[in-house]
Amino acid sequence: MRIAIIDESAARASIIEEGLGALDDCEIHTVTSRDGLLARIAKISPDIVFMDLGNPSRDVLEEYFAVSRALDRPIAMFVDESDDDSIAASIDAGVTAYVVDGLAANRIRPLLETTLRRFNAFSRLQADLAEAQGKLAAIDTIGKAKRILMDGKGLTEPQAYAELRAKAMSSNRRIVTIAEAVVTAHELLGDGA
């Protein structure tokens, strides 16, 4: 597992390193400067990121949130103090675990496991949502194509669907692909929205 630790304080970063020390097969990269941070993290390509911000200013917090938004990785962020706005902003930025006043070596390993599990669970939910949205979009497109065929050819709904299905089978394509072609052609001919 490749782990990135982002902390401008080498002393604080060493606490995280100590907590990760017992893990086998870990490659730990510590970044102590904000210069070119996103490019450096991209080069490391970590499996998980630990960010220790201590007591950051609003500008520093926003900079790290921008990094969080750009990464599609589990991120555990440590801060000394927090407020509701910072917590909400961190969640919106993709931070998986937001730990307030909890930087201790013995807490790192359980936090690593929790962060990975929460990130994976959220990723599965996002994938399920994308799949459901795709299916709904396909159903909507097929419905539009059926209406076009019903209006244009005077077909019933089952006849219009049968025509779409027959074309899909004969051309070895998915029915939604045929439906998209019907809708696009209808729009190009100026008969559609």
Q: What percent of the chain is modeled with pLDDT above 90?
A: 47
Q: Please give the average per-residue pLDDT across 49-67, as a whole number.
A: 78
Cα–Cα distance measured from residue 79 to residue 145, given in angstroms and rounded to the nearest whole number:
54
pLDDT of residue 9: 87
Which two structure tokens, joined as six digits, stand for 166? Answer: 């027959």
- pLDDT of 144 over the 90 cut: yes
pLDDT of residue 60: 73
Q: Please give the average per-residue pLDDT across 159-179, as a whole number.
A: 96
Are 119 and 74 contacting, i.e. CB atoms less than 8 angstroms apart?
yes
pLDDT of residue 178: 96
pLDDT (tens digit per residue) in 14-54: 999 998 887 888 899 999 888 888 888 889 999 999 988 87
- Mean confidence (pLDDT) of the chain: 88
Cα–Cα distance measured from residue 75 to residue 53, given in angstroms and rounded to the nearest whole number:
13
The one-letter amino acid code at 21 reads G
Lowest mean pLDDT, pick from 45-59, 127-141, 170-184 = 45-59
Which residues have C-beta within 8 Å of that of residue 119, sequence separation ≥ 6? 48, 73, 74, 96
Q: How many CB atoms lie within 10 A of CB 157?
A: 12
Alpha-carbon distance values, 187 to 62, 155, 193 (Å): 44, 19, 6
Q: Please give the average per-residue pLDDT across 77-84, as a whole number.
A: 83
Which two structure tokens, joined as six digits, stand for 14? Answer: 């060493």
**Domains of the chain, earliest start first:** 2-103 (3.40.50.2300), 129-188 (1.10.10.10)
N- to C-terminal Cα separation, the chain? 51
42 Cα distance to chain centroid? 16
pLDDT of residue 115: 92
- pLDDT of 191 over the 70 cut: no
pLDDT of residue 24: 81
